[in-house]
Amino acid sequence: MAKLNQIIAVEKGVKSKAQQDLTAAHQGLQKPALLAGIARTYQPKDEEGEQLPPESTRVQVKAEDALRETAAILTRLFDVTATKDWANCAARADVRVEGRVLVADVPVSYLLFLEKQLADLNGLVRRLPVLDASESWVQDPSTDAWKTEPVRTLRTKKVPRNHVKAEATEKHPAQVEVYYEDVPVGYWTTVKFSGALPARRVNELLDRVEKLQHAVKFAREEANGVDVVDQRVGDAVFGYLFG
């Protein structure tokens, strides 16, 4: 008795071969000359007239033959697909994470859905913003965000000062150079806030997603290991259609 995963493995090949064979079988139907035949003989008006040999062309393609060939080709495809779909109705498995059943008796079609969704979630988690590791962060309940400890910095202001390079004399004014001095005028107290996540939290989430991905894949393989009962649908379908 075959397994579901074996049927899935051959289905693609059966589909591809059926498509090729159908294309070849139907090409002849598109060529009217192959469908036509003729037989003719020549008789002169009198015995002394020219004698010509008979001419004939055989029919090379018959529509009924094409229908029978189509039925034969598609019957295999219909049966393989039916066998897979019938088996999918019974193919189920538990999703287990670290020995615990997270979701029980899951159909294989839903396991495929989960695989796709978890792949998207994996990408989302990997793109999550991470807190700047150069800062020290604590949670702030009032803003539901992360914040740093207050940092106090000095604010200065440039104040002009005069530097007398030469005193005034009777003949020359004083030579004064203006320069600016940074004078403390106050203090800034800064607290940074962030909506990003700690790297540890992101790594935990990624670990959970990957564990569940592995569990779902394992469950799918287990579900696809179910025994299948060969379905014979093609004969009934084409027996009615072309019978």
Q: Looking at the predicted structure, is the pLDDT value of residue 200 above 80? A: yes
Comparing 159 with 64, which gets the higher pLDDT?
159
**Nearest-CA neighbor of 147 among 198, 223, 202?**
198
Q: Are residues 157 and 242 in the same domain?
A: no
Angle CA 220–225–227, to nearest 5: 135
Q: Are residues 63 and 9 in the same domain?
A: yes
Query: pTM score, two decimals?
Result: 0.68
Q: Are residues 84 and 26 in the same domain?
A: yes
What's the domain range around 241?
Answer: 1-91+236-243
Work out the mean pLDDT of the chain and round it to a whole number. 90
For position 141, what pLDDT does the model report?
Answer: 93
Q: Is residue 102 part of a domain?
A: no
Q: Is residue 160 part of a domain?
A: yes
Q: Are residues 154 and 79 in the same domain?
A: no
Q: Tens of pLDDT along 86-140? A: 998 889 999 999 999 999 999 998 999 999 999 999 999 999 999 999 999 999 9
Give CA–CA dist 81/87, Å, rounded: 10
Q: Tens of pLDDT along 6-52? A: 888 888 899 999 889 888 887 877 888 777 888 888 888 888 888 88
For position 51, what pLDDT does the model report?
Answer: 87
Q: Are residues 171 and 243 in the same domain?
A: no
Task: Give the lowest-confidence range in 11-20, 68-77, 141-150, 164-173.
Answer: 164-173
Q: Are residues 241 and 180 in the same domain?
A: no
Give CA–CA dist 149/142, Å, rounded: 15
212, two tokens: 């569940």
| The 3-state secondary structure of 71-119, one letter per residue | HHHHHHHHHHHHHHHHHHHHCEEEEEECCEEEEEEEEHHHHHHHHHHHH
Overall domain count for the chain: 2
87, two tokens: 């088996």
Q: Is residue 205 part of a domain?
A: no
For position 1, what pLDDT does the model report?
Answer: 67
Q: Is residue 99 part of a domain?
A: no
Q: Is residue 86 part of a domain?
A: yes
**Angstrom distances, CA of residue 16 to CA of 21, 22, 76:** 9, 10, 12
Q: Are residues 77 and 16 in the same domain?
A: yes
Q: Are residues 9 and 85 in the same domain?
A: yes
Q: Is residue 114 part of a domain?
A: no
Q: Tens of pLDDT along 41-91? A: 888 888 888 888 988 888 787 878 888 888 988 999 999 999 999 998 889
Q: Are residues 85 and 4 in the same domain?
A: yes
Q: Are residues 1 and 87 in the same domain?
A: yes
